[in-house]
Amino acid sequence: MTIEILTWNLQWCRGCDGAVDPGRIIRTIRELGDFDLLCLQEVADNFDGLAGSQGENQFELLAAGFPDYHAVCAPVVDTAAANDPLGRRRRFGNMILSRLPVLAVFRHLLPWPYDPSFTDMQRGALELVVQMGGLPLRVTTTHLGYYSSLQRRTQVEALRDLQQQAAPHDADRSEARRAGSPYERIARPVSSILCGDFNFAPDSAEYARMQQPLTGNLPAYRDAWHLANSGQPHAHTVGLYDRGQWPKPFACDFFFVSEDLAPRVRSVRAESRTDASDHQPLMLRLAGQSV
């Protein structure tokens, strides 16, 4: 058994032609492959102030476009919309669609320390525990701060800490407690995939920090690109087509896998042919059991 995962910053479904088109995003993903998990960032609802948007509920439209998937939404911006005739709120954030059984969902707000030098927004991470054959697996997607290195550094530490926290939960082999109640023990395995738009480059201190060892000999994160493409530089994942926002292309979208999953990585590739967003889709293929 293998699973295939796509991660993609959608730029609120805005292509490099300036048009916001959720249908184009859905068609592009379906043309790229038959994925088990879709990890999406920059999904918007009722934000007509975003360039090209009519305020469409993209969480709803994307879920409807993949009806055979379980859709999990995690807005990190959730604000009142003044004078909205329907009383709707404005939401912006992350989303995962999964064809694998979803055992648990965790929505994390990442640190947002005040930085007077930059305007930014709340960031978060959406974590699912899914069942891959007989293997429970944590899959987390995130979108880190762009403007403030202070905020981005603290967010990297928070993501490392989430991996650290999972270890004692994974080691707990006691019988389920208080079955049927909120206190029932929930599987939270240390085997983990972390993906998204990290807004740091492969030569940055944040990239190196993400992969540094954890305490207690726990499985730390490793960049899946280098596991699958030894010796090759990262494919550019932003700025291939939109040179207005990005003077030159670079890589800032990654898959990190916990060390115990490293032998299972089969391929990581970026799709360079689409301009349906300012970012390129990145795809991971993972074997269900090591060989």
**pLDDT tens for each residue of 100-120:** 999 999 999 999 999 999 889
Mean pLDDT, the chain, integer: 94
The pLDDT score that the predictor gives to residue 289 is 63
The pLDDT confidence band at residue 290, using thresholds 50, 70 and 90, is: very low
Q: What is the mean pLDDT of residues 107-134?
A: 94
d(CA 209, CA 182): 35
Helices (H), 94-245: 149-171, 205-210, 224-228
d(CA 113, CA 135): 36
Please check whether residue 59 is in contact with residue 38, taking contact to mean a CB–CB distance below 8 angstroms.
no
The pLDDT score that the predictor gives to residue 9 is 98
> Residue 82: is its pLDDT beyond 90?
no
Q: What is the pTM of this model?
A: 0.96
Q: For strand 135-143 and strand 192-197, is the pairing parallel, antiparallel, or unpaired?
A: parallel
Spatial neighbors of 269 by CB under 8 A, at least 6 apart, are 235, 282, 283
Domain residues for the domain of 242 are 2-176+184-287
Per-residue pLDDT tens digits for 3-21 = 999 999 999 999 999 999 9
The pLDDT confidence band at residue 187, using thresholds 50, 70 and 90, is: confident
> What total number of domains does the chain contain?
1
Report the half-sphere exposure of 96 (CA within 13 A, side-chain side). 28
The pLDDT confidence band at residue 291, using thresholds 50, 70 and 90, is: very low
The pLDDT score that the predictor gives to residue 70 is 98
Copy the structure tokens of residue 128. Answer: 């699912």
Per-residue pLDDT tens digits for 27-81 = 999 999 999 999 999 999 999 999 999 999 999 999 999 999 999 999 999 999 8
Residue 280 sits in a domain whose CATH number is 3.60.10.10
Per-residue pLDDT tens digits for 139-149 = 999 999 999 99
Report the half-sphere exposure of 98 (CA within 13 A, side-chain side). 22
